[in-house]
Copies of this chain bind each other. A is one copy, B any other.
C-alpha cells in the first residue's frame, strides 16, 4: 500500500514522540512492503507562533490530501491562565475535528499485565479491564453558540444535538460492540437534559437493529463512580462530547497505563490518530517522554486501513519492550530506563 500520512507533531513533547512513531511505522512499512509518504504540518501553539493561528489552512490542505493524520499533542501553559486570550491552541484542535468531520473519538482503556501495579486502583478491581469509549467529537456544547450578554456579566454556552448526529455515533458504537463483548452502555443525563433524552430515545430506537447487543443506559454521574469501582464491567460506552471528555480521562488513569493509551478520531475517510496524553511542556526536549502511546496510535492507524497484521506487529513489539524493561523512566520503577529515542530505535529494530 502507498500511504500519505499528515504528520502533526504539535507542541511540547509532541515532536519527540512523533519521531518514534515514524521510525516504528517505517519499520513496519518496510517489513510488510508498504510505502509511507510523511507530510509534516504545523499545529497548536507551534502554529500560532509561526503563522498566527493554531490550524492554518495549509495544514488543513495537507490533512485533506492525506490518507490519515498522525498527531502528537498540543497545548502550552502560556495560554491556560489567560481567559481573555484571543487565539488558543485548543481552537485549532476543535477546528480540525470539525473540518475533517471527525465525529467519533475512539478511546480504549486496557491493561498491560506488567503495569497493573502502576494503577491507583487495587489489582483485583482493574484486572481484565478492556473497555472502549466512543465520544461524540463535533457536536454538543463544544460547538454550540457561546458568548456574553449584559456587558459581559452573563455568559452562555449552548448544547445542541440532532438525532442524525446521535445516530451516526451510536451506529459506530453498536458495530464496535458486535466485534467485541456485545455490550453497549449509553451514558447520559436523561433525568435532567433534553439533549440526553434525545440521545436515549435515539439509541433505544436502534436497539432492534442489533438484537445481539445488550444495551444499558446509565447516568453520567453513576458512570463516573462505576468506572472507579468496577471498570472491568464495561465493554463499549457511547456518550456526548463533554461527558466523553471527562469520563475518558477518568478511565485513562485507572489502568495504570495512562502513558500508553492511544486514540483514534474517525468520521470521514481521513482518520486522526493520537496519544491521549498532553503536551507535557515540562518534559519537552529532554528525551524522557514515553513514546509508546503514540506508537500504539500508529498501530490503530494501520488497523484502520485494514492492515491488522501490521497493527499487531506494533502491539507485539510494545509488549516485548515492556516485558524486557526497554522503557522510559516513568515506567522504570527505579530500574534501568532509556531515552525516548532509544526506546523508539529499539521498537523499530525489533519489528
Interface residues of A (CB under 8 A from B): 79-81, 83-84, 88, 90, 94, 120-122, 125, 141-142, 144, 146-148, 150, 152-164, 189-195, 197-198, 200-201, 204, 217, 220-222, 224-225, 227-229, 242-243, 245-250, 252-254, 258
Instruction: Closest B residue to A218 by CB, please name it.
Output: B80
Bound state CA distance, A125 and B158, in angstroms? 38
- Chain B positions within 8 Å of A147 at CB level: 194
**Contact (Cβ within 8 A) B228 A246:** no
Residues in B neighbouring A164, C-beta threshold 8 A: 153
Q: What would be 15 A-B contacts, judged by CB atoms less than 8 Å apart?
A: A80-B190, A90-B191, A94-B192, A141-B192, A146-B194, A148-B198, A153-B163, A154-B163, A156-B160, A189-B242, A220-B246, A224-B247, A224-B250, A229-B253, A243-B246
> What's the minimum C-beta distance from A162 to chain B, rounded to whole angstroms?
5
How far in angstroms is the closest Cβ of chain B from A167?
10
B121 touches A193 (CB 8 A): no
A201 to B242, CA, bound (A): 21
- Residues in chain B near residue A84, CB distance under 8 A: 197, 201
Q: Which residues of B contact A160 (CB under 8 A)?
A: 154-156
Query: Which among A147, A198, A246 has the greatest number of chain B C-beta atoms within 10 A?
Result: A246
Given contacts A94-B192, A153-B163, A155-B195, could you give 4 more A-B pairs where the C-beta distance is less than 8 Å?
Answer: A80-B191, A153-B162, A157-B159, A228-B253
Which residues of B lie under 8 Å from residue A191 when comparing CB positions? 79-80, 88, 90
Residues of B within 8 Å of A81, CB to CB, are 217
Interface centre among A121, A192, A248 (most CB of B within 10 A): A192
Report whether B162 and A154 are in contact in the complex, using a CB–CB cutoff of 8 Å.
Answer: yes
- Within the complex, which residue of B121, B156, B227 is in contact with A144, where a contact is CB–CB below 8 Å? B156
Tell me the complex Cα distance, A200–B16, Å.
32
In the A-B complex, the 6 residue pairs with the smallest Cβ-Cβ separation, listed nearest first, are A155-B198, A224-B250, A221-B249, A146-B194, A83-B197, A155-B194
Instruction: Name, among A157, A204, A252, the residue most crowded by chain B CB atoms within 10 Å (CB to CB).
Output: A157
Report chain B residues within 8 Å CB of A200: 83
Bound: A231/B190 CA distance, A: 29
Q: Which residues of B contact A220 (CB under 8 A)?
A: 245-246
Kindly report which residue of chain B lies nearest to residue A125, judged by CB atoms. B120
| CB proximity of A221 to chain B, nearest CB, Å | 4
